[in-house]
Structure 1
Amino acid sequence: MNPLGVHALVWAGDLSPESTRHVISQTKRAGYDLIELSLHGPQLMDLALTRDLLQEHGLRVGCSRGLTFEADVSSEDPAVVARGVAMLEEGIAITQAIGGNYFGGILYGAMAKYHQPCTAAGRRNAVNAVKRVADFAGARGITLGLEVVNRYESNLLNTANQALQLLSEVDKPNVKVHLDTYHMNIEEVDFVQPVLLCGDQLGYVHIGESHRGYLGSGTIDFGQFFKALAQIDYQGVVTFESFSSAVVNEQLSNALAIWRNLWSDGMDLALHAHAFMAGGLAAARQGVAHR
């Protein structure tokens, strides 16, 4: 079975020591294998405490982040690009310090709505930045995941095909594609072809409903997506991601336009998601095996 993960914002809106204890204990209690920590906003993390708690609870960890316009590696301004590279390297160092081996997200530009296409020079800067950061990560045993997101959060990678094109330009073995069903629902033609197209270049998966609430209560065809994962024998992490105004990280929530309360009970949400994902993935593998 695929390791199952859950995003920390299901539990708490920050990573202060008190919140970190809550996030990690609740993740274990809900039966997950991995916790994904978002490195957006001011860093209040106690890295030693976080690593010790992860080891104590036997949990794996992955980290994610997006960049701002002030630190956009797809900018034409070298100083802005340099700030972005520094932020990414900081995130990788944090990931290593707490015992993780995966760092993903919008690592190739700002997580924001652009008002124009990416320029050729900006794209070259993004490619070169990812190459540099990939070397920094590779020396620390960390895989990078380029998350494919919708048009309102990036002007560079909105489809799996675009991500694979960028991967070919970056040409680093520790850089993979990160697919997210929430974004696929907006940008892709279906939930099968992008997965098959990625094949062994798929390194990480986010499961999110069309409205970011309870799985199965929106419009996404998870059955087809799980079947596609089984067809390529994807054995990587599958992480549940959901956001609600009930749990607020102001910077990230505003960036993602989380304006309403989609749920209030994180444990109920997480338990439902775990059962939904585990059951769907198992059924898909069984179906493919019996073909």
Structure 2
Amino acid sequence: MATNPLGVHALVWVGDTSPAGVTTAVGRTAEAGYDLLEFSLHDSLNLDVVAARDQLEAAGLQVACSRGLAFDADVSSEDPEVVERGAVLLQDSLRVTRELGGTHFTGALYSALGKYGHQLSPAGRANVVAVLKNLAAEAGGHGMTLGLEICNRYETNVINTAADALRLADDIGADNVLIHLDTYHMNIEESDLVRPVYEVGDRLGYVHIGENHRGYLGSGHLDFGAFFHALADIGYTGPITFESFSSAVVAQGLSNDLAIWRNLWTDGMDLATHARVYMETMLSAARS
């Protein structure tokens, strides 16, 4: 029976991708028994890509990368210069992902990560489609996929539901543009955690598991049993990555962007080992 690679977000361990941060994240991810480590590329200028890849390979870990954009590099803008800055940032991030040995580049690739004061304009959406068409072509040439992570209304005005994401993917029109479901965001925007999984079906390419409050899995109110059963029903075998944030770890700038105002936990290892066992148990139960 195929098994899903189980991942953990590096921000469970450290707030940056400095050499020391990468060493810590890789070591603890392997120690906690995960298959995959996800890096956020918000801090990619500090990332020593060659050293990081060597450490990942030595630890036997797969890697995925994610990011959102900034308002001054927003591909959903109507300003051509702003859009171009965002396009360059995405191209650079795709290159970093490839050089790390990853095949999944995902996240809010389509907008800034933050609260907008207006709806997405038709011109802005057209810019998103044009930029991601080009990025998908480049990714496809390297056997890579792009993930459209569906985020809540307070973090983007481009896609908030599975239906939104599917329409955007259809307009981009590339087979390697897949949908990224995140239970934290689904809890805010979807009617339940099951129907979006069926709606996306075989176009699902990446999954984030996070509680409604981003703390310990099972300590909130999300129906993870139903969600994992839906994943099993559609035969999903891609990565499932645990994501949780605490202001005790996440760098201040990113904490502000993500509205992480409190310490939901302080012991990343306890949190992560608990999450791995929880996800393994849910997968096993769903498959049985």
TM-score range, shorter chain: over 0.9
CA drift at 1:219: 1.2
The aligned runs of 1:98-109 (5 Å cut-off) are 98-109=100-111
- 3-state DSSP of counterpart to 2:108: strand
Please report the TM-score for the alignment, with normalisation by the length of structure 1: 0.97
Who is 1:118 aligned against? 120
- 3-state DSSP of counterpart to 2:46: coil
Who is 1:20 aligned against? 22
The aligned runs of 1:69-148 (5 Å cut-off) are 69-148=71-150
Who is 1:59 aligned against? 61
The aligned runs of 1:148-227 (5 Å cut-off) are 148-227=150-229
The aligned runs of 1:37-48 (5 Å cut-off) are 37-41=39-43, 43-48=45-50
* Conserved 8 A contact 1:81-1:125: yes
- 3-state DSSP of counterpart to 1:156: coil
- 3-state DSSP of counterpart to 1:194: helix
Long gaps (5+) in structure 2: none
Who is 1:49 aligned against? 51
The aligned runs of 1:21-36 (5 Å cut-off) are 21-36=23-38
Who is 1:10 aligned against? 12
Worse-superposed segment, 51-60 or 133-142:
133-142
Matched, 1:245 2:255: no
In structure 2, what is the Cα distance between the partners aligned to 1:158 and 1:35?
25
Please report the TM-score for the alignment, with normalisation by the length of structure 2: 0.98
CA drift at 1:59: 0.2
In structure 2, what is the Cα distance between the partners aligned to 1:56 and 1:251?
31
Worse-superposed segment, 235-244 or 129-138:
129-138
CA drift at 1:42: 5.5
Q: Give aligned-pair identity as a percent.
A: 58
Long gaps (5+) in structure 1: 287-291
* Conserved 8 A contact 1:5-1:33: yes
- 3-state DSSP of counterpart to 1:43: helix
* Conserved 8 A contact 2:17-2:43: no
In structure 1, what is the Cα distance between the partners aligned to 2:250 and 2:129?
33
In structure 2, what is the Cα distance between the partners aligned to 1:253 and 1:21?
22
In structure 1, what is the Cα distance between the partners aligned to 2:11 and 2:44?
15
Q: Which string of whole-angstrom CA distances, capped at 9 and with x for unpartnered residues, describes residues 118-170 of structure 1?
A: 00111111111110111121122211000001000010100001100111100
In structure 2, what is the Cα distance between the partners aligned to 1:15 and 1:162?
32
In structure 1, what is the Cα distance between the partners aligned to 2:152 and 2:245?
16
In structure 2, what is the Cα distance between the partners aligned to 1:251 and 1:77?
25
- 3-state DSSP of counterpart to 1:41: helix
- 3-state DSSP of counterpart to 2:278: helix
Change beyond 3 A, Cα 1:42–1:229: closer
